[in-house]
Chain A
Amino acid sequence: MSTVPLTWQVRSPAKILPWTVPLILILFILPRALDPYGTILLTYGLLMAIASIGFNLLLGYTGLLSFGHSAYFGVGAYAVALMFKYWHVQSMELFLLGAIIASVVVSALFGFICVRYTRIFFGILTLALSQVLWSLAFKFYEITGGTDGLRVPTPTLLGIAIDPNEDKILFLARNYYYYVLGFFLACVLVMWVIVNSPFGKALQAIRDNEIRAEFIGVHIRKYRFVAFLVSGVFTGIAGALWVVLNGLTTPDILYWPFSGEIVFMSVLGGFRTFTGPIVGAVVFNYLKTYAVGATVYWQALMGAILVFLVLALPAGIVGTLAQVIARLRHRFAR
């Protein structure tokens, strides 16, 4: 299917702890070093990373390219916004619970339909279904606010409300950052367990050879369905975390170019690696922010980067680094 080597995968905890622990520590102390704006930017990156590892369970591990992940991100975000609008919910935990339930329902429904197909038909089906949601959010002005979108105020985190005297930006950059970081670490851990579990191995077997996987007794459609569900829920959680930080949700996050951005992130980091989508999401977020700030033609810049990436570095940032390290090791070993 591709020329990217499949071998570089983290397996034993003893191997990964020496570099994950310092990284996590850095993530914990980083808000002390960054200004609030920098922290909020990083928060966006971390929550998008949750969406992109969710997405990559399908692309990297199951071999299904979804071009409709905006749907589950949007469902998470709109679930939060609607819970606030109609039930005046203020608690982040309830928001997340609602977003998870909504994304389970939607991704179960869409997944049931989509996993019957693979390759380009899978991509087009996911895209068409996501556009159904987009057009509903776009047209039902009374409920979704149409293109104006819906506002979401800063909720309580673990029951603690924002101090009325406190600056909202500071609250988001301190308390909310750690909240998102907690979710990010939990999601990464869960995903790491999933892809290294027998279930994850079965998905990779399906990706590499569907027929052989079926021969050894893997129920392909069921496995794909569960992967789709998990993927959708991760993306839904990211959507819920995003809408609180952004304060507003519009139909743009349901429109199909946003799905393209999620694909972009995973490929930028390297979708054949576990850490690739995480790095990709964070880097993409910085890249896009700086590109938007630097020029009105940021889209052209991002497009050029994407074309270059696909042409020259199809293994992405992490995949390419891994290749370089492997080559160096090989050379020094001799």
Chain B
Amino acid sequence: MDIFFIHVFNALLYASVLFLIAGGLSLIYGVMRIVNLAHGSLYAFGAYVTAWVVGQWLAGAPVPVLFLLLPAGAVAAALLGAVLEPTLLRPFYRRAEEYQLLVTFGLLMLLEDLMRFFWGPYPLTATSLFETMGSLTVGGSVYPRYNLLVIVIGVVAAFLLWAFVYKTRFGVVLRATSQDMRRASAMGVNVNRVYVQAFTIGCFMAGLGGAIVVPSQSAVLGMAVDALVLAFVVVVIGGLGSLEGALFGALIVGVVREIGVSMFPEIELAILYLIAVFVLLVRPAGLFGKTA
């Protein structure tokens, strides 16, 4: 039975991180109709910044301070996003999707080397946080407390995002812009500002996803590319542009992956991609998406 709980925790842990990445990707697509291939890079950027701040720059600081510094990566990713959107992406909204994909692909290559330039080719870790929290005994097994914290952060982030999008005035503007950009603009919405804000929030989420994984894993080059395809699988299952879909998709991927890793490790990844293909075929708009 305790093994079962560990599996459930692992699935939720994975789903939390994936929701943060894919939720941001989906939010950005929902509002701006742009598929950002560089989204995984913002996740990686968040991971590197947190790993550097917590693991190297201020590694000597007291542990509570380090916990407060954990979101540094998310803030850094948000700032990066706030710079990138108006400069690089804005010229492309009116152009064909080919060009949007290509420019974000170029951005992905640029950011990958930017991280190599700043932090070198070696993995960066911030394990002190993971270690100080110790572990918990579940029945006869031990489970790291930090992982539970990640799950809590994922749940809180999902709730805050829901409240933000559905319960605030800004959320109304955001949803209006997403549904009909022209009409929102005619009603006096500053669409450019909404775009920057939505992109920044999306990047913040991706950065937060990166920030919370570095205490237990390390920030490595290539994590951007790996994360992006998985985030794609999540948004395809849930529906591009749907936040509920991203949550649901992340849970499905989390559970399938946990089952896959323990039962059929060879085809665990293939199954995830095949699920995405199957969903696209049956419901191209995803399980929660609106059919265009």
Distance between Cα atoms of A302 and B105 in the complex (Å): 10
Say if the beta carbon of B117 comes within 8 Å of chain A. Answer: yes
A310 with B102: CB separation less than 8 A:
yes
Query: Smallest CB–CB gap between A313 and chain B, Å?
Result: 12
How many residues on B have C-beta within 8 angstroms of the other chain's C-beta atoms? 44
Tell me the nearest residue of chain A to B121, going by C-beta.
A296
A113 with B99: CB separation less than 8 A:
no
- Considering the complex, which residues of chain A in the window 119-139 have a beta carbon less than 8 Å from any beta carbon of chain B? 119-121, 123-125, 127-129, 131-132, 135-136, 138-139
Say if the beta carbon of B138 comes within 8 Å of chain A. Answer: no
Say if the beta carbon of A311 comes within 8 Å of chain B. Answer: yes
B280 with A303: CB separation less than 8 A:
no
A135 with B96: CB separation less than 8 A:
no
Say if the beta carbon of B144 comes within 8 Å of chain A. Answer: no
- Considering the complex, which residues of chain B in the window 103-117 have a beta carbon less than 8 Å from any beta carbon of chain A? 103, 105-114, 116-117
Contact of A121 among B91, B273, B284 (CB under 8 A): B284
Query: Smallest CB–CB gap between B177 and chain A, Å?
Result: 19
Contact of A311 among B98, B103, B266 (CB under 8 A): B103
A128 with B103: CB separation less than 8 A:
no
Q: Report A201-244 CB contacts with B as 1/0, cut-off 8 Å.
A: 00000000000000000000000000000000000000000000
Distance between Cα atoms of A309 and B270 in the complex (Å): 34
Contact of A263 among B102, B108, B111, B113 (CB under 8 A): B102
B273 with A267: CB separation less than 8 A:
no
Say if the beta carbon of A67 comes within 8 Å of chain B. Answer: yes
A296 with B116: CB separation less than 8 A:
yes
User: Which residues of A sit under 8 angstroms from B284, Cβ to Cβ?
Assistant: 117, 121
Given A264-B105, A303-B106, A304-B106, decide whether A132 and B273 contact each other with a Cβ distance below 8 A: yes
Distance between Cα atoms of A117 and B284 in the complex (Å): 8
Say if the beta carbon of B229 comes within 8 Å of chain A. Answer: yes
Say if the beta carbon of A307 comes within 8 Å of chain B. Answer: yes
B236 with A299: CB separation less than 8 A:
no
Given A59-B98, A135-B269, A140-B266, decide whether A299 and B277 contact each other with a Cβ distance below 8 A: no
Say if the beta carbon of A257 comes within 8 Å of chain B. Answer: yes
Say if the beta carbon of A306 comes within 8 Å of chain B. Answer: yes
B105 with A263: CB separation less than 8 A:
yes
Given A1-B96, A2-B96, decide whether A129 and B106 contact each other with a Cβ distance below 8 A: no
User: Which residues of A sit under 8 angstroms from B223, Cβ to Cβ?
Assistant: none
Say if the beta carbon of B3 comes within 8 Å of chain A. Answer: no
Contact of A65 among B98, B108, B117 (CB under 8 A): B98
Q: Report A300-319 CB contacts with B as 1/0, cut-off 8 Å.
A: 10111111001100100000
Distance between Cα atoms of A298 and B35 in the complex (Å): 24
Given A138-B269, A256-B229, decide whether A124 and B102 contact each other with a Cβ distance below 8 A: no
User: Which residues of B sit under 8 angstroms from A65, Cβ to Cβ?
Assistant: 97-98, 101
B interface with A by C-beta (< 8 Å): 35, 37, 88, 91-92, 95-99, 101-103, 105-114, 116-117, 225, 229, 232-233, 236, 240, 265-270, 273-274, 276-277, 280-281, 284
A sample of 6 inter-chain contacts (CB < 8 A) reads A121-B284, A260-B37, A302-B109, A303-B109, A306-B106, A311-B103
